[in-house]
Each structure stands twice: as structure tokens, then as C-alpha cells.
Amino acid sequence: MSDATDARTPAQIQADIETRRADLADTLDEIGVRLHPSTIVGDAKAKVASAVDQTAGRAFVALNRTANGVRAQFVSDTGAPRLERVIPVALLSVGLIGLCVSSKRCKK
């Protein structure tokens, strides 16, 4: 043992013990809060919410890119419709709808 340890008074030793007890009590309180079921459930909910937010954000970005890509196929940079692409798609759509309607009429 060193001289500094030997030179401590009983009051200093008692003060050190009280300090360590207070630190230990704080540590135990913190462990109790962390292990409390409501804290664990809250942490789990926060992690799930974060994961859902990230997934929803990624999905939104992907859908937005897709929509912008499709829009770019049918609308020019100036905002005018690209008739060379719009008209064939419109005719195809009308033809498919007509075919569907006529096939239902024929079955009756």
C-alpha cells in the first residue's frame, strides 16, 4: 500500500464509501429503467417505426422515379404531350377495351 492510502482518515474513507454507494445506486436505477418492460417495448416500437419509415421512403423514391420515367415518355421537357407516343397508346387502349366489351357481349 502507498503512503497516500495509509494517510487517509476514517472520515475520508467513509466519504469514499458513500460516494461509491451513490454511484452504484444511480447505476442500478439506470439498469432498472433500461430493463423495464415499457422501456423495452418503447425501444422496439421506435425501431419498427424507423424501419417502416425507411422502407416507405425508399418505396416512395422508387415509385416517384418510375412515375417520372413514364411521364418523360409521354410528355416533353417543355410540358407538351408527345403525340407520336400518346396516340398509339390511346388507340391500343381503346382497342383493348372494345375487345373486352365485345367478348362479354358475345358470351351472353
Cell of 54: 425507411
Position 104 scores a pLDDT of 78
Q: Smallest Cα–Cα separation from 43: which of 53, 33, 29?
A: 33
* Spans of all domains in the chain: 82-108
d(C-alpha 67, C-alpha 86), whole Å = 16
Position 2 scores a pLDDT of 54
**Backbone phi and psi for residue 56, each to the nearest 5 degrees, phi listed first:** -65, -40
Position 84 scores a pLDDT of 93
3-state secondary structure of 79: coil
The number of beta carbons lying within 10 Å of the beta carbon of residue 85 is: 13
Position 3 scores a pLDDT of 55
d(C-alpha 101, C-alpha 93), whole Å = 12
Average pLDDT per consecutive 10 residues, the chain (108 residues; last block may be shorter): 70 96 95 92 94 95 94 90 92 92 74
Position 7 scores a pLDDT of 87
- Specify the amino acid at residue 7: A
pTM over 0.75: no
